[in-house]
Structure 1
Amino acid sequence: MTIRIDRDRLWATLMELKEIGAYDDEATGLRGVRRLALTDADAEARRRCVAWMVEAGLEVRVDRIGNVYATRPGRDRSLPCVLMGSHIDTVATGGAFDGTLGVLGGIEVMRTLDDAGIETLRDIEVGFFTEEEGVRFGTDMLGSAVTAGRIPLEHAHKLTDNDGKTVEEELIRIGFDGEAHERRPIPHAYIECHIEQGPILSTAGVTIGIVEGVQSISWQRLTLHGEAAHAGTTPIPARHDAGLVAASVVVEARRMCDSGEFGQLRATVGNFVVSDGQTNVIPHTATITIDLRNPNNTHMTAAESHLATYVHTLSTQHGVTATWERMAKTPVVPFDPAIQNLLASTADDLDLPYVRTMSGAGHDAQEIAALCPTAMVFVAGENGGISHTPREHSTPAACADGTDVLANAVLHLANQP
């Protein structure tokens, strides 16, 4: 049996949810989405998604880290469920599709099964995980990492934002400090549908990607302490310039990427803050965040080691002290070959051309892969697949194609004995 989702209904929910947290972006002149985790906008979006889940007749529960799950019962409730999911929080300059497609697509799968009067052997669940982006509390994939057991709940609850507010306080404030245990029952399988956030699918001229895994990700915060001094009277050799060292690290990170020495390394300094910056004062403190990505664990280890040595040498040379803080680190996560092959055969059945690809971005799927067979369906984006910007866009047809693949693969898994 082949099922097709209601394309107009899926698109309508995507367009409705994007208005929660919407803002006018001055840089692009476009309408963006700013829905950071556990803010009022996130709370409103959560309530809207829960309402859709309830309207679809699903059983909703919330766990102690704020992850939300909705269940469509199967005939044998003793069997592990088939799980779909993603996230609805965004970066500060987000779009309408990152994460959201996987959640709303999962709800649409449930509606489609109901419309067709289809029963399944196993329960099917759709969920969304807390603070996937890591923008507000500094740790990405937080909710899925807690449920998978990589991050203890107690540690997650104590994480703070820039205003000193903790995850636990904000969960309570918005009413999503649930009672269900954070270590969820192990699923039979997990599939996440997500926009690609890159150019591979659009370059190949296809709407579907079968994801083979997620590359290694390293987040670190580097704080450099020098000495403030007069910009005009302090000789160059006598300076302890924290800003100079920080800027040099930015340049070295790019050189490392261009060198080829560290494989397909991607490095980004996303935050660069000079404390109490003044035009005529040498910076005494600078803080930067360093995001490294690599599809090879050995190359990632070499890149981190090189950067640490470079910072040590340079800071010693300039009389500056360096302090590192690990924000996040995940190795390369390969996805389950059998689930990948099921997605590929499903795309073939639907006559949808596809490519196989690695993910350059992190996803909740990489955490859930520690629990059960896992894979992802990528959907092509427009504008070269650009994401984390109001320019992020996918077409109604591409979103529907990806959700059709999701629906039929999930239906197959849900009837496995």
Structure 2
Amino acid sequence: MTQRHTLRINGERLWARLEEIGQIGATAGGGCNRQALTDEDRIGRELFASWCEQAGCSLRRDAVGNLFARREGTEPGLAPVMTGSHLDTQPSGGKYDGIYGVLAGLEVLQTLEEGALHTRHPLEVVVWTNEEGCRFDTAMMGSAVWSGAMSLEDAYALADRTGASVRDELERTGQLGDLPAVAGPVHAAFELHIEQGPVLEAERKTIGVVTGVQHMSRHRVVYYGQEAHAGPTPMTLRKDPMMALGQCLPELYAMTEQHGPDARVTFGFVHAEPGSSNTVPGRLEFTVDLRHPDAGQYQSMLQAYEAIINAAARRFDLAMEYACFWEAPGVEFDSDCVAAVQSAVDNLGYSYRRMVSGAGHDACNVSRVAPTSMIFIPCEGGLSHNEKEAVSAADVEAGANVLLQAMLVRAELDS
């Protein structure tokens, strides 16, 4: 075996760091609430930065707060091989979504540092800003700006429900960097992540070799009715937006089922105003998340969704507004990067499944400007965005070893 094939990361250290950073923003249910650009997010980033300095990495931060840790190569002029993910969480999120990919990337760099081993290409670990999109309503924001999919001005203008903007919070938390948030040359990029679904666990596979990401979008629908007393107003004389929602939901679920087992629809937010139990709502807002790996099926779902929500408005004589507020086109990952992951899995002897990701990741934006692929490990019960999110230490170590080997394929270990 070559020296590369025998290298392994320190699984105990990686697990200990996952547990330590999981205490920042820890929730009573065992998860994390470390939303983007909060004080908890800042503290988590500071802890990560301290570990990077211990590993001999240099640090830099760009204008949207993306944080890069770099280990120089023997030929510094070469484009880096990149890995990473995010440290922010959902309000009731888990301890591994995103965080695992960041800390595993650091573990790769530290393993090489401790072994006094060097690569021709520099290696970088990145922490992307506001991947979750829960506090500021655009997912994968930092990587979107960096890759050119979103303007810096649009990102700065995003505000949370208190009115605090991204620009304000970058400054307040000390995360506003002085470097342009613009992608430079990247030789290859890998993102290691928990699956966030049940497939690997159900099939008893250790690694997901991810070949792409499905098409997805999020939509906001608002129906306008007429507020009225719940008692005296007959059902037939109401302009009740809840009736429209009641028609939409089963039709949208049925439409999704018609597009096969890979189709997805989710209604994650519903809000009625004025929010009184004995008043017919005057305004109803809800969101619709649509996903499918096949481009044709996805477009068909979009058309059917619009027809369904418009038909409900007409039936109940309601004014309405609707708009897509986020969309991520499907991605086919770079064949050489996928091959590097496959080679690592084969050499390490792990069981695997080639698969398409059902969730969006920063790798989608990175793939716009650099050869990219992803690696998955199972999560218990397929749960994510949940305080009960759980993984095994053995799988955590296995995924990080695959990441190490795949990065070395592309970064070229200097003998």
RMSD after superposition: 1.3
Q: What residue in structure 1 maps to residue 67 of structure 2?
A: 68
CA positional deviation for 1:279: 2.0
Q: What residue in structure 1 maps to residue 25 of structure 2?
A: 21
Q: What residue in structure 1 maps to residue 176 of structure 2?
A: 177
Q: What residue in structure 2 maps to residue 304 of structure 1?
A: 302
Mapped partners of 1:251, 1:128: distance in 2 = 40
Mapped partners of 2:245, 2:32: distance in 1 = 31
SS at match of 1:213: strand
**1:12 corresponds to which of 7, 11, 16:** 16
SS at match of 2:31: strand
Question: Gapped runs of 5+ residues in structure 1?
Answer: 26-30
Q: What residue in structure 1 maps to residue 410 of structure 2?
A: 413
Mapped partners of 1:197, 1:78: distance in 2 = 37
Mapped partners of 1:41, 1:249: distance in 2 = 39
Q: What residue in structure 2 maps to residue 28 of structure 1?
A: none
Per-residue deviation, residues 375-417 of structure 1 (Å, max 9, x unmatched): 00101112x2211111111111100100001011111211289
CA positional deviation for 1:263: 6.4
CA positional deviation for 1:363: 0.5
Q: Is the 8 A contact 2:213 2:359 kept in 1?
A: yes
Q: What residue in structure 1 maps to residue 32 of structure 2?
A: 33
Range 50-59 or range 227-236, more displaced: 227-236
TM-score norm. by structure 2 comes to: 0.96
SS at match of 1:23: coil
Q: Within 5 A, what are the aligned runs for 1:247-258?
A: 247-258=246-257
SS at match of 2:267: strand
**2:344 corresponds to which of 339, 343, 346:** 346
Determine what percentage of the aligned residue pairs are the same residue: 37
Per-residue deviation, residues 209-264 of structure 1 (Å, max 9, x unmatched): 10011101111111111110122222222211112212332322212222x24662
Mapped partners of 1:337, 1:399: distance in 2 = 24
* Aligned residues between the structures: 410
Q: Within 5 A, what are the aligned runs for 1:376-415?
A: 376-382=374-380, 384-415=381-412
SS at match of 2:326: strand
**2:353 corresponds to which of 355, 370, 384:** 355
Q: Which runs of 4+ in 1 moved over 6 A?
A: none
CA positional deviation for 1:307: 1.3
Q: Is the 8 A contact 2:241 2:284 kept in 1?
A: yes
| Corresponding letter in the other structure for 1:387 | S
Q: What residue in structure 2 maps to residue 264 of structure 1?
A: 262
CA positional deviation for 1:342: 1.4
TM-score norm. by structure 1 comes to: 0.96
Per-residue deviation, residues 195-220 of structure 1 (Å, max 9, x unmatched): 11111111221211100111011111
Q: What residue in structure 2 maps to residue 193 of structure 1?
A: 192
Per-residue deviation, residues 24-55 of structure 1 (Å, max 9, x unmatched): 13xxxxx1111111111111111111111111
Mapped partners of 2:370, 2:201: distance in 1 = 30
Q: Within 5 A, what are the aligned runs for 1:226-265?
A: 226-258=225-257, 260-261=258-259, 264-265=262-263
Q: What residue in structure 1 maps to residue 105 of structure 2?
A: 106
| Corresponding letter in the other structure for 1:415 | E
Q: Is the 8 A contact 1:86 1:100 kept in 2?
A: yes
Mapped partners of 1:176, 1:325: distance in 2 = 31
Mapped partners of 2:246, 2:8: distance in 1 = 52
Per-residue deviation, residues 288-345 of structure 1 (Å, max 9, x unmatched): 1111111112211111111111111211221211111322111110111121111111
Q: Is the 8 A contact 2:337 2:372 kept in 1?
A: yes
Question: Gapped runs of 5+ residues in structure 2?
Answer: none
SS at match of 1:24: coil
Q: What residue in structure 2 maps to residue 52 of structure 1?
A: 51
Q: Is the 8 A contact 2:84 2:102 kept in 1?
A: yes
SS at match of 1:194: strand
Q: Is the 8 A contact 1:58 1:70 kept in 2?
A: yes
SS at match of 2:18: helix
CA positional deviation for 1:186: 2.2
Q: Is the 8 A contact 1:263 1:299 kept in 2?
A: no
Q: Is the 8 A contact 1:311 1:322 kept in 2?
A: no
Q: What residue in structure 2 maps to residue 291 of structure 1?
A: 289
